C-alpha cells in the first residue's frame, strides 16, 4: 500500500505547519475600494494565496505582524473586514457563517 503525502502549509498567524486541509486559504481581491482579503474555503479561487488557521487568535497575530501583505507579495494597504467577519462569525451546521449574527455584529440589517 502506497501512502501519499498530505500537503502542508504554514499559518501566517502562528507560523505553525499544518495539513492544508486544516487551514483557511486567503486571497486578495481588487474592487472599487482597493484590495481586500477574502476567504477561499474551497481553495478554488485564482491567484496567490496565504494560509491561516480559521481561529481569531491566528487572525489577530497575522494582522499585528502584517503577514498577509508579505505572504501575498502585496505592498498596498489591505482591507481585512470580510475576512474578520468570516473568522469571528459563529458557524451553522453547514459550516457557513450565520448571516443574522454577522449582520447584528456589524450593525447591518439582515
Within the chain, strands assigned E span 8-10, 17-19, 24-31, 34-40, 50-52, 78-79
pLDDT-flagged residues of the chain (< 70): 89-110
pLDDT at residue 48 in the model: 94
108 burial type by CB count under 10 A (0-12 exposed, 13-18 middle, 19+ buried): exposed
pLDDT at residue 89 in the model: 60
d(CA 94, CA 39): 16
Q: Which domains does the chain have, with CATH numbers?
A: 8-88 (3.30.1230.10)
pTM of the model: 0.74
pLDDT at residue 101 in the model: 45
- Note the pLDDT tens digit of each residue in 57-70: 999 999 999 999 99
Amino acid at each position: 500500500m502506497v501512502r501519499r503525502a498530505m500537503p502542508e502549509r504554514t499559518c501566517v498567524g502562528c507560523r505553525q505547519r499544518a495539513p492544508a486541509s486544516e487551514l483557511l486559504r486567503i486571497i486578495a481581491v481588487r474592487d472599487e475600494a482597493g484590495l481586500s482579503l477574502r476567504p477561499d474555503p474551497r481553495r478554488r479561487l485564482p491567484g496567490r494565496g496565504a494560509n491561516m488557521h480559521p481561529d481569531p487568535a491566528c487572525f489577530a497575530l497575522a494582522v499585528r505582524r502584517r503577514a498577509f501583505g508579505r505572504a501575498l507579495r502585496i505592498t498596498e494597504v489591505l482591507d481585512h473586514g470580510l475576512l474578520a467577519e468570516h473568522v469571528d462569525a459563529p458557524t451553522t451546521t453547514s459550516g457557513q457563517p450565520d448571516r443574522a449574527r454577522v449582520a447584528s455584529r456589524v450593525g447591518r440589517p439582515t
